[in-house]
Chain A
Amino acid sequence: DTGVSQDPRHKITKRGQNVTFRCDPISEHNRLYWYRQTLGQGPEFLTYFQNEAQLEKSRLLSDRFSAERPKGSFSTLEIQRTEQGDSAMYLCASRLGANTEAFFGQGTRLTVV
């Protein structure tokens, strides 16, 4: 499978716990994005990597959120001290160039109880 891969697909955690999600982009894509989607809404941009450099972060990304992309390959998104409001679908996307289509993974559904 050469598409964008995300792991895990589902995560249930207790409030206050830390969680980490992983995204493996399409191998030749140097641009990687994280989005968050809540029920009934379109995805909202969280952060952007070009190769290993994190070049933009949304105001939605509070200091409890951190993302990395070591060596410009896979990426991780960590949420510390989770809150119920963090419950959402977290989507990863990759693309080859700025104006080309972005391909999305299947997402990680986070439920904070």
Chain B
Amino acid sequence: EDQVTQSPEALRLQEGESSSLNCSYTVSGLRGLFWYRQDPGKGPEFLFTLYSAGEEKEKERLKATLTKKESFLHITAPKPEDSATYLCAVHGSGNTGKLIFGQGTTLQVKP
């Protein structure tokens, strides 16, 4: 069964303290791994799509990487405005393109 597990569930950082979020996945034939950011009370906001092992994508202080079993979201020198829940998802089985999400990592960056 397709499954996505994120760790840690919560992460507290000081401003400027770099760290990484982990997303482990089990899926029969990866057709895309997606990272989203979600602010409280709002819908998920798309960040990155990764398709194959070794692929990397960057946006401002965020960098996403992909291996055959997991993905990392690296946050370099975070700022308080990076505080949010970060969600990882993969395509589920079948051809509908439905997403299977992890439970998310809630990041708090203190000034």
Seen from chain A, the residues whose Cβ lies within 8 Å of a Cβ on chain B are 4, 6, 31, 33, 35, 40-45, 48, 50, 55-56, 91, 93, 95, 97-107, 109
In the complex, what residue of chain B is closest to A49 when comparing beta carbons? B96
Quick one: given A42-B104, A91-B43, A107-B42, are A102 and B99 in contact (CB under 8 Å)? yes
Does B17 lie at the interface of the complex (its beta carbon under 8 Å from any beta carbon of A)? no
Seen from chain B, the residues whose Cβ lies within 8 Å of a Cβ on chain A are 4, 31-32, 34, 36, 41-46, 49, 51, 87, 89, 91-92, 94-104
3 pairs of A and B residues whose beta carbons are closest in the complex: A42-B101, A104-B43, A98-B97
Query: How far, in whole Å, are A31 and B99 apart by their CA atoms in the complex?
Result: 13
Query: B32, B41, B92: which contacts A99 (Cβ < 8 A)?
Result: B32
Whether A33 pairs with B42 at a CB distance below 8 angstroms is: no
Best-surrounded residue of B32, B36, B43 (most CB of chain A within 10 A)? B43
In the complex, what residue of chain A is closest to B46 when comparing beta carbons? A101
Within 8 Å CB of A93, what residues of B? Answer: 99
Within 8 Å CB of B43, what residues of A? Answer: 4, 6, 91, 104-107
Query: How far, in whole Å, are A31 and B98 apart by their CA atoms in the complex?
Result: 10
Within 8 Å CB of B42, what residues of A? Answer: 106-107
Within 8 Å CB of A109, what residues of B? Answer: 41
Within 8 Å CB of B49, what residues of A? Answer: 100-101
In the complex, what residue of chain B is closest to A95 when comparing beta carbons? B97
